[in-house]
Every structure is written in structure tokens, then in C-alpha cells.
Amino acid sequence: MASSAMALGWQTFVTVVAVTVCINLSVILLLREPQQRIVVVAAPTPTIDEQPPVDEADDEQLWDAASAAPVRTEDVVTRTPPTPPPASSPSRLLRSPSPTSRPHIPIRKPFYLVTSPESNGNRFLVKLLVSAGCYGQSGHEQPFDDRGRHAASLWPNRIRDRRYWSRGHEMAKCAAMHRSIPHNGVWPDLVALVKQIDTLGYEPRILVSFRPEDVARISQVTQKHVRTEEQAETNILRAQRHVIDALGTMPKVWVRFVLYEQLGHEHYLHWLFSEQMGLPLAANHPKFEDRDSKHFH
């Protein structure tokens, strides 16, 4: 009986040992078995000459098939983005300018063309402009007139070439010239004068001076521009239309209307010269003289 129990125990021990050995051998074999690795090799990209032509219909079918096909993890290849060039790279130094950048446009000096009917304060307005730093003269003869080269019927519509201007115009901040309507018996072509100013390299600007018509017509008779007040009034109305018609063809030209009688008030001078033209007047600028009242006494 005792021998039977001992034989059964020994048999059980041997079975357990055998099973343990089999399990260990299986684990060792599994660990030593080579693993299968999936390597994705990108095919060489054909050149443009090697690529076969693709029909548009076939291209759409390929696009639809590629869109419908499921994406597998092993087909996804992660690519590292290229390293950006350093700051000193020529590709950055030679880059094109921004589309919003604008070319530098040099600022031109203004040329003030003072015009109005006769006896409306043109010369006094030019006198103020000259005192503010503009090149010119307020008298009847001006440095821009070319009386010697043109006939009396032509020179009011001409501006002398800059080569023949007197010295000092290069340093002046602006230029000023007056043309009455009519001027020396000629009705000046304001559009042609503006074009000549632009050709000379200046920015054309127009100042139109107005004076009360009842005073202006008396002044024209006194200055012997006309014989009667009726002729003066006719010329004044025609001159006003002449200016308005010319300005209508030049909508982009800078223009201001000046009230002659207001030139005697400092607040108006500040508004006109400092704010509108950027030409502050000095304290000793020419003073306005009330010449209107003398015509009624």
C-alpha cells in the first residue's frame, strides 16, 4: 500500500516537471523567432518625359478610387519638412518687395497761378505769396513773362523757360504768378498755363481772387481798363465764366477761391496761408489797404 502511494507521487512529480520544461522551451522558441517587418519603399518618381499621358476620364477614375480606398497605417509615411534657410540666405536677402509697397514719389514745389477779373486783387495776393517765400514779383512785369520772344497777343499764354529766370528761384519754396482776365488785352488760356507749369516740374495750384462787382467795375474805369462801368461789368461776368469753364476741365488741380476784402483780417490770412497752403506769413507781411471806400466818397 505504501509502495503504491510512493509510485503515484513520483509519477505526478515527473509529469509536472515535463510540462514545465515544455512551456519553457516554447517560450524560448517564440522569442528567438525572427519578427516580420514591413518596409515601405518609395518608388522613384519618373521625370516629365517619362510620365505617360493621362486621359482626363482615367484621371477622374483614379482620383475617385484613391478617395474611396481605406487608408492603412502601414501605407502612411511620415516625412520631415525641409529646414528653412538661415536669415543670411540669399533667398531671403533677394526677396521681392511687398505687393502693398509704393514707390517713392518726390514732392514737387507748388506754383501758384493767381487769376481773376481785372482789379480784383491779383497783384496784392502775389505780393503776399512772395513775402511768404515764393519766387515771383507782384508788379506788372514778372520774371515769367517772355515779352521779347513772343508778340503781345501770345506772351500772356507763355511761361518763360526756367533757364532764363533770375537767380534765387532754386532756393524758393514755391513760385507765384498772376494773370488777370483779360491780361494785357489777351484772354489767357488757363489750361495751357497749367500744363506749362506741370512741364516745368512744379505742382500747379490756382488761386482765384474775387472782389465785390460794384467796386471792381469802378476800379476798372479808374485804372483805364475800360471806358464805362457797363463795359467793366460785361468783362467781369465774362471773366468769371472764363475761370469757371477752365476749372471744369481740370478737376484734379488744387484750387482755392479768395475773398479780396478778407485779406485784411489776420484770422483769414492764417486760414489761407498757414492751413491751406502751408506758408505761414511773417509778422511784417504786407498789410491790406482798404481801397474800396475811396470809390464811394
pLDDT tens-place values along the chain, 297 residues long:
555 555 556 666 666 656 666 666 665 555 555 544 444 444 454 544 455 554 444 444 434 444 444 545 444 445 555 565 555 444 443 343 444 445 445 589 999 999 999 999 999 999 999 999 999 998 888 989 887 666 677 888 999 888 888 777 889 999 999 999 999 889 999 999 999 999 999 999 999 999 999 999 999 999 999 999 999 999 999 999 999 999 999 999 999 999 999 999 999 999 999 999 999 999 999 999 877 666 555
**Residue 186, in any domain of the structure:** yes
* Residue 233: closest CA among 161, 44, 48, 225: 225
Q: Are 173 and 279 in contact (CB under 8 A)?
A: yes
Rounded to whole angstroms, how far apart are CA atoms 97 and 79?
A: 32
Q: Is the dihedral of CA 253, 201, 110, 239 positive or negative?
A: negative
Number of structural domains the chain divides into:
1
Rounded to whole angstroms, how far apart are CA atoms 236 and 120?
A: 10
Residue linked to cell 524758393: 172
**Residue 72, in any domain of the structure:** no
**Residue 40, in any domain of the structure:** no
Q: Residue 209: give the domain boundaries.
A: 110-289
Q: Which residues, including other chains, have CB under 8 Å from residue 36's CB and lie 6 or more apart?
A: none
CATH number of the domain to which 249 belongs: 3.40.50.300
**Residue 163, in any domain of the structure:** yes
Angle at 130 between CA 126 and CA 133, to 5 degrees: 140
**Residue 258, in any domain of the structure:** yes
Rounded to whole angstroms, how far apart are CA atoms 238 and 244?
A: 10
Q: Are 210 and 120 in contact (CB under 8 A)?
A: yes
What pLDDT is recorded for position 25? 62
What pLDDT is recorded for position 93? 38
**Residue 130, in any domain of the structure:** yes
**Residue 251, in any domain of the structure:** yes
**Residue 71, in any domain of the structure:** no
